[in-house]
Structure formats: structure tokens, C-alpha cells
Amino acid sequence: MVLLPEVSRSLFRRLRVPASMPRQNPPDTGKHPARLSLISRHLAPVYPINTPYTVERLPDTIETSLLPKAQSRKMSSQPPHPTLLIPGPIEFDDAVLQSMSHFSESHVGAGFVAKFGETLSMLRKLFQTTDPSAQPFVLSGSGTLGWDLVAANLIEPGEDVLVLGTGYFSDGFADCLRVYGANVTELKAPVGTKPQLPEIEKALSEKKYKAITVTHVDTSTGVLSELKQLSALVHRVSPETLIIVDGVCSVACEEIDFDGWGLDGVVTASQKAIGCPAGLSISMFSGRAMKALENRKTPPAAYFASMKNWTPIMKNYEAKKPSYFATPSPQLIHALHTALKQILASPLSDRFAAHKTASDKVKKAITDLGLKQVAANPDEQAHGMTAIYLPEGVKGADLLAILAKKGVVFAGGIHKEIATKYIRFGHMGVSVLDPKRNDIDHALKALEESLVECGYKKA
């Protein structure tokens, strides 16, 4: 590692000074952040982060809180702010946010226990399961914790798992499974597509897999996987294989019929289509999956992520009985309770249809602009997000910066093979469902104008 002399001096100074000693901060010359980023860039090859391809979602030259008021639209009773249209976190409803400013209460007090219990029962409705042997879990953590739950609890070291490879998020799931000792086979599809049923059937008939995992919407590409026929195939060809779905970017915007399709596990998170602030790992496991946990020969190699530790707690909460393993976040549970109440106030089919309508509109507008999607096949396109290839000569960082100035926040690319070549537009939750917001039309107009400002002319 070669360091610039100035950087290495400051690094060594920092390394020499014990943490307990008061350190003299350098005067704030404004140069500090640049130096820090220089240091972290130099450290990057030594301590590789596992997302080296992540494009900055917002260029750091843009301080969104300072945007002119006109661009930070007033969409609700929240302070004016740029519209967050990335594939999670999404824009949140006022009532959901307001339920977080709940007074502090005991996590084992009757009021909170009842709220948590109702939340778990409502999740059964969201996942469309009436099977009493299915078990919901709500744990403090992000969507990624769902991968740990599956890997640490349903799979034993050395057991085989078939991972359907659709992009960045299926790769992450595969990595997580390996960490706990699973023997992972990845069936990878070319960027922008998904593994097809005949090859999945072939793989399943060649080896006996404990589980198959599918990323319902791979948020890195906007590819939607079809679950109903896939599940039917697995039940026919390899009936003992557990069917596990990463539904982090699909639960509450794509249809999931947990019982009807015979799924064994769906893991998700609060901050995407469910529309609740980040911080909750939300999952549903079938009776079969719970049996696999019960029948393990070895204990789960996790403590916080051990479903053995959490199952009695979840059962007690749902029965409105106080119980403790580790402290939940009452404020987040209140927010989730409100979000689920709102979701379940209308038929789920209406919610899915509204996301499809908005998605069709976005995708048509993208095509009309002469742009292409990463997920090229209409049958494989997600309904809560769109991954859009940049036109020739337009840089993602430039386009995102101009969009941000117009009060619209899109995300950059994260699929390692194409990261700098596309952007992502999330259209989930209130941005789609609340007609007062006009978020989608506003974003499409901003996109069209921003492309022109980047010098793009439709061919």
C-alpha cells in the first residue's frame, strides 16, 4: 500500500495516539473531509467493503436540506424535502411517522404487548396465511437479518442450498448462507434475467437440496421472479426442499400467497413497500420450516438471530403475554402497526393492482423517452421499481445530481457488472397510492427535463 506522505503522517499520528488520550482536533479548514475520503480510499483495498460497486446515491456536493423550497415539495405535514424515490427506504405516510413519537413504555407492559401481538397477527394477513403452524417474526434489524435467520436456523452446516442468482441481492444471500456453513450452488442468470424453470428442474433433479432461495424482486436489476409456478415445480420435483423467498423488495407491492403457493419462508424488511422506517426484519416461516428448525441435529450458530430464542417470544406476544429475550423497539413496532393497519384497510389485490398501474405508467414513459430497462422482458419486470439504463453519453452521477436539484432522489446502480450504466427508480407505497402526492408524475417530468439538461436527445 502506497500512501501519500501527508496522509501516512496523519494516519500514523492517529494510530500512535491511544484512544483514551484527548486528541487535538485539527482546525476545521474545510479540507478535512477530502482528506478523510482520501484515507478511506487508501484503506479500501486493505479492508474491502462488500459493496465496492455501490454508486453514491446522492452526490455529496448536494445538501438536500438547503434546496430551494420550490424543489423540496410539501407533500404532507412533513417538512418540505426531496421526494425519496429509491427502492427503499421509501416515502413514509404522516400517520406512520407520527406513531413513532409515542411516549416511552415498557416492552413488557400490557399496552405494548397488545400492540406487538396485533402486529404479528396482521402480518399473517399481509402474507396471506391462515395456517396456525406458520410463524411470523419481527426482530430489530434490517432486511439482511432475514438472510441470517434462514442461514443460521433452517440450514445445518454442510447441507446443500440452491440459490437462484438474479444479481446483487441473491449474491448476498448466497454469501450469508456460506458464512453459516451451507454448501451453496448458485444457478446464475445473465444480468437482467432470472434462471428459467427447465434449468431449475434440472438442478433440482441432480442433487437433493435442503432449501432453494429465490429473490422475488432483485433490487439490483428490477427483475421479478415468478413464485407460483416455481413453487409448484419444487413441490413436484423435490418435495422436501424448503422454498425460501427474499421478499425484501416485494412484500406489500407484489402478490405473495404464502399458503396457496406453498412457500416455507418469506423474509422482508420494514422500509420498502411496507412503508415503515428501517429497523425491522419481518419474516414468515411455514410449519415445515419450523419443523426443520425443531429437528436440527446441531444448535443454531447464532444467538440474537436464533429462531429458537425468538419463537417462544413471538408466540407469547401474539397471545398478548409479556415475554423477554432482547428488547424490541416499541416506537418502530408502533409505526409498523400503523403501516399494517393502513395496508389491510383495503383489499390487498387493490394494492398490488395500484403498484402495477403505476409501474406500467413508469415503464411506458421510460420507453417513450427512448430508454431501455435492465429487466428487458416485460414478464420479468418488478412493479415497485424500475432499473433504467442510461443513454449513451449521460453519466449516472450527473443525472442523479440534476434530479436531486429538482427535488427527486433516485438511486444509482449496484449490480457489479453494470453499476455505472444504470439508475433505479423506486415506486412503492404512498408515492403510488396517495393521489395527493403526484410523486410519480413529478419524477417522470423531472427525469425527462434532467435528461435534456444532460444533453440527451431521443434518437
Ligand X SMILES: *Cc1c(COP(=O)(O)O)cnc(C)c1O
In the list 142, 185, 309, 323, the residue contacting ligand X (rule: CB under 6 A) is: 142
Work out how close the CB of 267 gets to ligand X at its nearest, in angstroms, rounded to a whole number: 8
What gap in Å lies between CA 296 and CA 294, rounded to an integer? 6
Is residue 70 classed exposed, middle or buried when 0-12, 13-18 and 19+ CB atoms within 10 A define those classes?
exposed
Our finding on whether 256 is near ligand X (CB under 6 A) is: no
387 within 8 A of 375, measured Cβ to Cβ: yes
Residue 453 makes CB contacts below 8 A (sequence gap 6+) with 402
Q: Which is nearer to ligand X, 230 or 248 (CB)?
A: 248
Query: Parallel, antiparallel, or unpaired for β 83-84 and 408-409?
Result: parallel
Stretch that binds ligand X, among 142-150, 371-379, 431-439, 451-459 (CB under 6 A): 142-150
Our finding on whether 169 is near ligand X (CB under 6 A) is: yes
Work out how close the CB of 175 gets to ligand X at its nearest, in angstroms, rounded to a whole number: 12
Our finding on whether 248 is near ligand X (CB under 6 A) is: yes
Our finding on whether 314 is near ligand X (CB under 6 A) is: no
Give per-residue burial for 212-226: e unless 16+ CB within 10 Å, then b: bbbbbbbbbbbbbbe
C-alpha cell at 321: 403475554
Our finding on whether 88 is near ligand X (CB under 6 A) is: yes
In the list 151, 249, 292, 332, the residue contacting ligand X (rule: CB under 6 A) is: 249
Q: Which SS3 state, helix, strand or coil, does residue 339 take?
A: helix
Work out how close the CB of 20 gets to ligand X at its nearest, in angstroms, rounded to a whole number: 34
394 within 8 A of 423, measured Cβ to Cβ: no
The residue sitting closest to ligand X, measured at its beta carbon, is 143
Work out how close the CB of 411 gets to ligand X at its nearest, in angstroms, rounded to a whole number: 11
Q: Which is nearer to ligand X, 218 or 318 (CB)?
A: 218
Our finding on whether 164 is near ligand X (CB under 6 A) is: no
415 within 8 A of 374, measured Cβ to Cβ: yes
Residue 247 makes CB contacts below 8 A (sequence gap 6+) with 216, 217, 254, 256, 266, 267, 268
351 within 8 A of 343, measured Cβ to Cβ: yes
Q: How close are the terminal C-alpha atoms of the chain, in Å?
A: 46
Size of the site for ligand X (CB under 6 A): 11
Work out how close the CB of 137 gets to ligand X at its nearest, in angstroms, rounded to a whole number: 15
**Within positions 143 to 162, which residues make up the interface with ligand X, using CB under 6 A?**
143-144
423 within 8 A of 388, measured Cβ to Cβ: yes
Our finding on whether 269 is near ligand X (CB under 6 A) is: yes
Our finding on whether 425 is near ligand X (CB under 6 A) is: no
Q: Which is nearer to ligand X, 169 or 352 (CB)?
A: 169
Q: Which is nearer to ligand X, 162 or 248 (CB)?
A: 248
Our finding on whether 253 is near ligand X (CB under 6 A) is: no
Query: Could you tell me where the beta strands, DSSP code E, fall in 314-379?
Result: none
Number of residues assigned to the chain? 459
Q: Which is nearer to ligand X, 352 or 456 (CB)?
A: 352
Q: Which SS3 state, helix, strand or coil, does residue 162 take?
A: strand
Q: Which is nearer to ligand X, 290 or 411 (CB)?
A: 411
Work out how close the CB of 224 gets to ligand X at its nearest, in angstroms, rounded to a whole number: 11
Our finding on whether 126 is near ligand X (CB under 6 A) is: no
**Within positions 207 to 246, which residues make up the interface with ligand X, using CB under 6 A?**
215, 219, 246
Our finding on whether 380 is near ligand X (CB under 6 A) is: no
Interface contacts to ligand X, rule CB under 6 A: 88, 142-144, 169, 215, 219, 246, 248-249, 269
